[in-house]
Chain A
Amino acid sequence: QKEVEQNSGPLSVPEGAIASLNCTYSDRGSQSFFWYRQYSGKSPELIMFIYSNGDKEDGRFTAQLNKASQYVSLLIRDSQPSDSATYLCAVNLHNFNKFYFGSGTKLNVKP
């Protein structure tokens, strides 16, 4: 079993819609959670992070964490074609200072 699971997609949404990206993790000791965006041929770029259960909003992005269900999601409101990329979920076990990444979900936002 992988530490972090993501649906590889592609997830296609029309411009202006809400894109919902999901991630599950296996280790209940995971303490911090990160979403990265990666354009083709580029390196991952941090979008946001979340530590506590609930929602965290930053502009058009909302991260949601449910530790009981071992589930973290990213919502992108008013999706734009420029949001088309692969979104990577990462979790961190603080005691080990180690980050585990999922394989990413490819998002296509159609104009």
Chain B
Amino acid sequence: GAGVSQTPSNKVTEKGKYVELRCDPISGHTALYWYRQSLGQGPEFLIYFQGTGAADDSGLPNDRFFAVRPEGSVSTLKIQRTERGDSAVYLCASSLRPNDEQFFGPGTRLTVL
């Protein structure tokens, strides 16, 4: 069956621009997670959705970051006024239920020039 998909696979933008990263989870998975991974580090938790609501957004670094999941399936991570320090791979993962094993998408590599 189809796994988690993410678009775009690569995004290059200029400092100060706005970007949107999309995640399409495995069908039927209720829990959706966003992570950020920098080189040589493990995934860093950003936000967790259970259904349509953000159950935990404590990992979002600041108010430039926002994420939605309006229909409980596809999610969009939005970053305003991008900074060079936002450059990383943004990973999305989904699980059938909370606390179950997570399955990751291929990631979006964001480069802010």
Interface residues of A (CB under 8 A from B): 4, 8, 31-32, 34, 36, 42-46, 49, 88, 90, 92, 94, 96-104
Contacts of B95-111 to chain A: CB distance below 8 A: 98-99, 101-107
Q: Please determine whether B104 and A101 come into contact, CB atoms closer than 8 angstroms.
A: no
A97-B99, A103-B40 given; 9 more Cβ-contact pairs under 8 Å? A42-B106, A44-B43, A44-B104, A46-B101, A97-B48, A97-B50, A97-B56, A99-B102, A101-B45
Instruction: Determine how close the nearest CB of chain A comes to the CB of B60; give it in whole angstroms.
Output: 13
The contact of B42 among A31, A92, A102, by CB within 8 Å, is A102
- In the complex, B91 has a CB within 8 A of chain A: yes
Q: Considering residues B41, B50, B99, B105, which has the most beta carbons from chain A within 10 angstroms of its beta carbon?
A: B99
Q: Contact partner of B91 among A44, A49, A97, A100, CB < 8 A?
A: A44
A43-B104, A43-B106 known; A104 vs B42 contact (CB < 8 Å): yes
Question: CA of A96 to CA of B99 in the docked complex: distance in angstroms?
Answer: 9
Q: Is the CB of A46 within 8 A of B105?
A: no
Residues in A neighbouring B58, C-beta threshold 8 A: 98
B42 & A34 in contact (Cβ 8 Å cutoff):
no
> Which 5 A/B pairs are nearest by Cβ-Cβ distance?
A101-B42, A43-B104, A97-B98, A101-B43, A103-B42
Inter-chain contact B107/A43, CB cutoff 8 Å: yes
Q: How far is the CA of A42 from the CA of B91 in the complex (A)?
A: 10
**A88 in complex: contacting residue of B43, B98, B101, CB < 8 Å:** B43
Contact B41 A97 (CB under 8 A): no
In the bound complex, residues from chain A placing their C-beta under 8 Å from that of B14 are none
B54 to chain A, nearest CB (A): 11
Q: Which residues of B contact A8 (CB under 8 A)?
A: 40
In the assembled complex, the Cα of A46 lies from the Cα of B43 at a distance in Å of 13
Given contacts A43-B105, A44-B104, A46-B101, contact A99 B45 (CB under 8 A): yes
**In the complex, what residues of B have CB within 8 A of residue A32's CB?**
99
**Cross-chain pairs A/B with CB under 8 angstroms, 10 sampled:** A34-B101, A36-B104, A42-B106, A44-B91, A49-B101, A97-B31, A98-B58, A101-B45, A103-B42, A104-B42
A42 and B58 CA atoms in complex are apart in Å by 26
